[in-house]
Structure 1
């Protein structure tokens, strides 16, 4: 079971390929706040809803200094298909090795349809301008999650 992050922790550094295969690092966002969300799989109903909600609210979040990055175990080719099909504007990164998912506490045992399985735990970590964890939310719901973040942040 991965350790869950707590407010005040230093967010684990990462460099992962985006939908076009270009490397994107957490360090690229230094001096800005970034919402890093982890989702199980591109092109699935819940993950599509969540990604579309983030895309729909991207301007509002950007006005308040937040960038949004979605991370899943998908390969760049699948992320590109997801982005293009759903007209997503959020940065999507692939972590097929699941190392970053684990370092953020977003991979491990979870309950699914009453069974315990190992997989991606839908999570959101908000990282401040100094690279510290501001909030860490685990086992979030795909639907309504973005609205809750916006409300919780007072935007």
Structure 2
């Protein structure tokens, strides 16, 4: 698993930002720190609450100099619809090929529901040097991150 002090695995994936365009982590580290908020699935209860909370607190993250990105295995077109329905202004990274959740070692299954290979709810803060300065990973998909702790980590990473 990726831990504090590790180099953040780089990736290029579709970014749902109202349009769909390529997003490469290493090319966006100038706008650091970067908060990567992994979530299991769009349009689900806790995931919707989590992304809505990041949106509600986005000004505070931006004041800390941080850029927030959600990451899930949903298709970019689904993520754009999710953004629209929930009024999200930050981009959502589509990991539909599951390479990012594999690189960050945050893959989980909902075997009882027959759904495999989704992101564990987790948050990583990456500084301008590409170093992970904060990591939080939950094995319980019903638990949300401590948003204040994430924001403080982002402030410290700037």
TM-score bucket of the superposed structures, by smaller chain:
0.7 to 0.9
For normalisation by structure 2, the TM-score amounts to 0.83
Query: Equivalences for 1:97-112 in 2 at 5 Å?
Result: 97-108=97-108
For normalisation by structure 1, the TM-score amounts to 0.84
1:123 to 2:122 alignment: yes
Counterpart position of 1:25: 24
Tell me which protein shows more helix as a share of its residues: 2
Query: Equivalences for 1:49-64 in 2 at 5 Å?
Result: 49-64=49-64
Count of residues in Structure 1 that have an aligned counterpart in Structure 2: 149
Indicate if the aligned counterparts of 2:74 and 2:94 stay in contact, CA closer than 8 A. Answer: yes
109 and 147 in structure 1: CA distance in 2 versus 1, 3 angstrom threshold: same
7 and 143 in structure 1: CA distance in 2 versus 1, 3 angstrom threshold: closer
Superposed CA offset, 1:64-85 (max 9, x none): 1111011100011100110000
Which sections of structure 1, spanning at least 5 residues, go unmatched? none
1:6 to 2:7 alignment: no
Deviation (angstroms), 1:21: 1.8
Counterpart position of 2:131: 132
Which sections of structure 2, spanning at least 5 residues, go unmatched? none
Deviation (angstroms), 1:110: 7.7
In structure 2, distance between residues paired with 1:90 and 1:84? 11
In structure 2, distance between residues paired with 1:11 and 1:68? 15
Query: Structure 1 runs of 4+ off > 4 angstroms?
Result: 109-113, 151-155
Indicate if the aligned counterparts of 1:50 and 1:146 stay in contact, CA closer than 8 A. Answer: no
